[in-house]
Structure 1
Amino acid sequence: MNPILIQHPLKILQVNTVEKEGGAAVIAWNLYKAYAQKGYYSYYSVGKKQSSDDLVIQIPELSLTTILTRLEAKFAPFCRISELVKKIQKGQKSHRQEQGWENFHFPGSRKILQLHPLQPDIVHLHNLHGGFFDLRYLAQLSHKKPVIITMHDMWLITGHCAHPMECKRWQSGCGDCPDLLRYPPILADGTARNLHRKQRIYRRSNLYLATPSQWLMDQVEKSVITTGVIDARVINNGIDTRLFKPAPKEQARLALSLPMDARILMFVSAKKIKNHPFKDYRTISESLQIVEKKVEPSLPVLLLALGQEGQTEKKGNVEIRFLPYVKERSDMALIYQAADLYVHAAKADVFPNSVLEALACGTPVVATAVGGIPEQVEDGQSGILTKPADPNDMANAILSLLENDPLRSKMGNFAAEIVQKKFTLDHQVKQYLEWYQQILESRYQHVLSKN
């Protein structure tokens, strides 16, 4: 190992759309905090800041009009050059939006290496969509510093969408898009042009790429991004098992004022559950209608639907309570600990944190077998996998566990054990830190060979 690399702690920068909300943000935040606790210089740059943490810095908006406005305020209040420039730029932006262009014009992101007091040794990027990062800067950035991208969805390899669902056009250049409104939406079919722009960027880049699931890595290997990737690895998301761990259900329910005699199910979404583009609340709702008809009449069933406020729904002995998304992780852990089952229906998913958090708390999972979820849930051991968009299959899985206490307990114990073996935050952190060191050593050796 090059002695230069170990003379000081690594300086590591995480970059993401938002600070804490959503799966990618939770992963980026956890890595940022874990590195700091281990004594590394750890920083975090975001499109939207959500805390008062001094080492989390919001990427500034540095458009030409912003700069001109500041100059006018200081030197020439009577001059209105910025208004003219703003009108011109608005017209150009509107024209491109009408043609279906993805907007990469976020000049503030080109300053991420200067936002913190010390230049990072490693730049670790997460979600780059969401209106804050100039993707065209990726090539230049990757030649200045080692750049790792952890993909949390498929936006980097499609013409506009985060999840293409059943569409395979991204494998052959996009175009003729079947759903322009799929998140992030565009106004016209510019998908072929958008994907070609991304491909040109990747060809000029030197990237290190991580995915949390083998399923997503399989998609990456069929995509345009491979032209710019030096090394790619599957590094599973990790959970803080000091926080998410089994605990007595009675104690958790008492703390949350939840009924002791009910069978409690839960489902989590960072955005509105009923309207989430990639979750499938409809299947859960319809499966509970089937459960209501088949479950023992004397057994109350309660679903806690976290992610959307609304009126409580009740039919027979089945009740659905809609609750706002819980931001505090310790409160979230308490709810998992109080639940008998975690139910997760999705149209598309990569490696959801919520599934791991439930398993870590010893709560068996009933989930649709899409994306990377089968890599998390061992079917028949830590939970049950069901067919996508199949309420009958999901209802049967729920009933089989609600009515079998010993099986549910056995699955819960196995679930907690498997997370401890494979999906802890400590394991994830260790894998990334080892990779960082290998990358820096490789770059150092490359410089030596050139000299």
Structure 2
Amino acid sequence: METPVLLLVYNRPEQTFRVLQRLKEFGVTTIFVSGDGPKSKDDRIKTDEVKSCVNRFSSIISNVQFLEKNEGCKKAVITGINWFFDNVEEGIILEDDCMPSEHFFAFTNDLLNRYRNERKVWMISGNNPLGKWEAEGNHFFSRIGHIWGWATWRDRWDDFRPELPYIQSFIDDNGFKKAFGPTQLAESRKQLTIKAKRGEIDTWDYQWMAQILTKNGLAVVPSKNLVENIGFDNDGTNLTEKPNWIQNEATLKPLQISERSIVIDREYEVELELCRRSASRANKSAFHYSEVGKSSSQKLKIVLINSTDVGGGAEKITLNIHEELLKRGPDGKLLVQDKKSILDTVQELNSDPIEQIRKLNPDVIHIHNLHGTALKLNEIAKISHEIPVIFTLHDSWLTTGSNSHPFVLNRTELSFLEMMEWKKELSKRRELITQSKIRFTAPSQWLRERFFEAQGIKAHFVTNAIQDVESASIKPPSERYILFVANNAETNPYKDFETLKTAWTRANSELKDRSVDLVCVSGPVKEEQFENGRLITLSKRDNWEVVELMKHALFVVQASKQDNSPLTILEAHSAGKPVVASLAGGIPEMLSDEELEFAFESKNAGQLQRKIVEATHTSDKGNFAYRASVLTPFSKMVDAYLGLYLEMANA
């Protein structure tokens, strides 16, 4: 194996010997060894033993350097890697407690070659602490890489600035929030980076990952772990006992690597965080369930439940899933409190909904919305012991103690008495869920994390997706406009119309002869003339009409106070239109890197004003468009749900 390997050592002769022996067995012929110096006279005994160990493998070691004094984890490692890349163009980095599997080198060599000229990829991780995470092409991309056996290129490492001179401007621009959404994961990554920069943590890897993040870079991670850490003992520098959530065993089977799209696996990033916080093993990935659902021929009878069949995003998703399931299997039903369509397979819930469900004898019950129906959470919790139940979290209801819209996310916004009632209701919901066998899914990583914080349960991830709509011509309401789409746009408590209206009027004053009209769908039909533009409100439109309106707009604005995974953004992307959007809920994870440059804080009219002006100028230059590498097909979302149904029905 000709790819150069750097082995970083310190004071663990036993582990150093084992790793060098493994490298010799696998035919590694170009090894660099860099060692930190001793901390004390007693420590020198161990470091001298390491030097003796290294000398025993002189036939496969090309270069050696040992530091005279102890420099610590940060400086010693950076010094060693700098020295390594002064001599090689690309290479593999191992520490003395990282035991590579037989298939590690084939993986890193393949991907070093595959992504050498793809500057978005900064590193190849050989370690996957979840043990297994099924993914397209047997590898995936993350902003969180792992350094227990990894590889990179000289040009990437040469760009590394360990002191992070630019990190404060990144933080001031909501960089972590844009990357990971308004989540605890974002805050955790930010705080770790700040501590590492200040020297409160003697490390280099948080800075390295921050560098990658600020450059919109990615790490490659294998779908199965390829490196075992053998350093969980009293000699460990950082960890002396293996955390329960880390799956340390390396796979015995080779990974068959194939081409795949370069997209961030946000599901993995949040799963990693939730496994760490819960000290539990990982859920299976959405990719796994999608592959199972796609390949299975087993027919299932599914009963879906929602408040109505025609309405907002949750209603669209539920009805479309129901219609797709009917094409694939036996007669299922969609039960709703208020039926608006003429479909025979959609029925209204009767006065005894639980008995109504029992008579249908479904293989699985799929809840989409419970509030707004006659069904109660305690009834669903009880029937989950008879019939498998899956509950998709389309909103934040089960993460709050609110009983009506708008759901209050933060109880500190309430009065003392309201807060006590909110806490009591959330506690009641938590108790019912804990006693049930309900499994949960969420279409955003933001809500997955919120649900874990509220209920202590890791929901599965199934993305939202939309069906293709046929194109048709419409007469645009204006020659030059931006578009805002929401049910009852001006009064919707989850949207941010007032901020948008204020920002739009101010932006037009700045844009002058390049001003834009603001078109809203939907609400009471009206047209208002302002100094530099018109506010045009249209009545509710069919999906195809909304998409056509998007095609004629300069861009779409998603102004929200609270949102999960809005279909408006997916519809805009399907129309090839970019979105200027709030940094609220699950929105940031739906946006492209370019769109994130125009994202703004909810309720911040001044910031939105600037973004509208910037986006308008950029659009006028022809430089603002949605360029997605891939949009999730609707069939893939249904496949993932089918995979979950099958696992539950066959349990």
Into which bin does the TM-score normalised by the smaller protein fall?
0.7 to 0.9
Read off the aligned partner of 1:207 and give its amino acid letter: I
Indicate whether 1:309 and 2:524 are aligned.
Answer: yes
1:127-276 alignment runs, 5 A limit: 127-161=369-403, 165=408, 167-168=410-411, 176=416, 190-224=421-455, 226=456, 232-240=459-467, 242-243=468-469, 252=473, 255-259=474-478, 262-270=479-487, 272-276=488-492
By relative contact order (CA 8 Å, sep 6+), the higher-ranking structure is: 1
Q: CA deviation at 1:368?
A: 0.7
Q: CA deviation at 1:191?
A: 2.7
Aligned pair in 2 of structure 1 residues 310, 265: CA closer, same or farther (>3 Å)? same
Alignment of 1:3-14 (within 5 A): 9-14=299-304
Instruction: Give the conservation status (yes or no) of the 8 Å contact 2:598–2:615.
Output: no
SS of the aligned residue for 2:598 comes to strand
Distance in 1 (CA, whole Å) between partners of 2:417 and 2:310 is: 32
Aligned mates of 1:277, 1:41 — CA distance in 2: 37
User: 1:339 aligns to what?
Assistant: 553
Instruction: Identify the residue that residue 362 of structure 1 maps to in structure 2.
Output: 576
The corresponding residue for 1:113 is 357
Matched residue SS, 1:222: helix
1:369 deviation in Å? 0.5
- The match for 2:324 is 34
Match of residue 77 from structure 1: none
4+ runs of 1 displaced by more than 6 Å?
Answer: none
Q: Distance in 1 between matches of 2:543 and 2:359?
A: 28
Q: Please tell me whether the aligned partners of residues 377 and 384 of structure 1 are also in contact (alpha carbons under 8 angstroms).
A: no
1:10–1:141 CA distance, 2 compared to 1 (3 A): same
The CA deviation string for residues 252-291 of structure 1, in whole angstroms up to 9 with x for no partner, is 4xx22534xx322111112x22222111101110011112
The answer to whether 1:439 aligns with 2:648 is: yes
Counterparts of 1:115 and 1:46, CA distance in 2: 16
Judging changes above 3 Å, is the alpha-carbon distance between structure 1 residues 22 and 136 closer, same or farther for their aligned structure 2 residues?
A: same
Tell me by how many angstroms 1:413 deviates.
4.1
Structure 2 CA distance for partners of 1:302 and 1:42, relative to 1, 3 Å = farther
Structure 1 residue 40, shift from structure 2 partner: 4.7
1:359, 1:382 within 8 Å by CA — same for their partners in 2?
A: no
Could you tell me how far apart the structure 2 residues matched to 1:338 and 1:177 are?
A: 49
1:203 Cα deviation after fit: 2.5
Distance 1:281 1:392, change over 3 A: same
In 1, Cα distance between equivalents of 2:475 and 2:437: 49
Q: Which runs of 5+ in 2 are unaligned?
A: 1-294
Verify the 8 A CA contact 1:379 1:385 in the aligned structure 2: no
Identity %: 24
Q: Show the counterpart of 2:113.
A: none
| Cα drift, residue 422 of structure 1 | 4.2
Preserved CA contact (<8 Å) 2:336 2:373 = no
Deviation sequence 1:349-401 (CA, Å, 0-9, x none): 11111111111111110011010000111242477211111122212222222
Alignment of 1:257-296 (within 5 A): 257-259=476-478, 262-270=479-487, 272-296=488-512
Change over 3 Å in CA distance of 1:175–1:438 after alignment to 2: farther
8 Å CA contact retained: 1:155, 1:163:
no
State the 1:125 CA deviation. Answer: 0.2
Q: Distance in 2 between matches of 1:23 and 1:265?
A: 21
Residue 254 of structure 2 is matched in structure 1 by none
CA 192–388 in structure 1, closer or farther in 2 if over 3 Å, else same:
closer
Distance 2:533 2:296 in 1: 59
Structure 1 residues 203 and 165: alpha-carbon distance in aligned structure 2, compared to 1, 3 A threshold: closer
Task: For residue 124 of structure 1, report the CA deviation from its aligned partner.
Answer: 0.6
User: Deviation of residue 41 (structure 1)?
Assistant: 3.2
Structure 2 CA distance for aligned equivalents of residues 47 and 287 of structure 1: 39
Q: Deviations over 1:50-109 (max 9, x none)?
A: 01110000002x2xxxxxxxxxxxxxxxxxxxxxxxxxxxxxxxxxxxxxxxxxxxxx33
TM-score of the pair, normalised by structure 2: 0.51
| Matched position secondary structure for 1:385 | coil
Q: 1:153, 1:141 → 2: CA distance?
A: 22
Instruction: Give, as a single letter, the amino acid of the residue that structure 2 aligns with 1:322.
Output: T
Q: What code does the residue aligned with 1:395 have? A: Q
CA contact (8 A) 1:11 1:40 kept: yes
The one-letter amino acid paired with 2:301 is K
Distance 1:124 1:278, change over 3 A: same
**Is the CA contact 2:556–2:572 (under 8 Å) kept in the aligned structure 1?**
yes
Match of 1:380 among 594, 598, 604: 594
CA contact (8 A) 1:9 1:41 kept: no
**Does the 8 A contact of 1:312 with 1:322 survive in 2?**
yes
Q: Take 1:346 and 1:114, find their aligned partners in 2: how far apart are those partners?
A: 39
**Given residue 375 of structure 1, which amino acid in structure 2 is its aligned partner?**
E
Say which SS state the counterpart of residue 370 (structure 2) adopts: coil
Between 313-322 and 50-59, report the one with greater CA deviation.
313-322
One-letter amino acid of the counterpart of residue 416, structure 2 = D
For residues 401-412 of structure 1, the aligned pairs below 5 Å read 401-405=615-619, 409-412=622-625
Q: Structure 2 vs 1, CA of residues 42 and 361 (structure 1 numbering), >3 Å: closer, same or farther?
A: farther
Larger radius of gyration: 2
Mean alpha-carbon deviation: is it higher for 38-47 or for 144-153?
A: 38-47
TM-score under structure 1 normalisation?
Answer: 0.72
Q: Which amino acid aligns with 1:294?
A: E
TM superposition shift of 1:406: 6.6
The aligned residue for residue 8 of structure 2 is none
Structure 1 175/109 Cα, relative in aligned 2: closer, same or farther at 3 Å? Answer: farther
User: 1:45: which partner in 2?
Assistant: 335
For 1:40 and 1:383, the matched residues in 2 are separated by 47
Which letter maps to 1:440?
Answer: A
The DSSP-based 3-state class of the residue aligned with 2:526 is coil
In structure 2, the CA distance between the partners of 1:178 and 1:345, relative to structure 1 (3 Å rule), is farther
Q: Give 1:433 shift.
A: 1.1
Tell me, yes or no, if the aligned pair for 2:512 and 2:532 is still in contact at 8 Å.
Answer: no
Q: Secondary structure at the match of 1:285?
A: helix
- TM-superposed CA distance for 1:138, in Å, is 1.5
Question: What is the match of residue 346 of structure 2?
Answer: 56
Question: 1:382 and 1:218, CA in 2 relative to 1: closer, same or farther beyond 3 A?
Answer: closer
Query: In structure 1, what is the equivalent of residue 606 of structure 2?
Result: 392
Question: Is residue 526 of structure 2 the alignment partner of residue 318 of structure 1?
Answer: no
- Displacement of 1:163 after TM fit? 5.9
1:123 to 346, 365, 371: 365
**Aligned residue identity for 1:220:** F
**Contact 2:303-2:332 within 8 A present in 1 as well:** yes
Q: SS at the partner of 1:237? A: coil
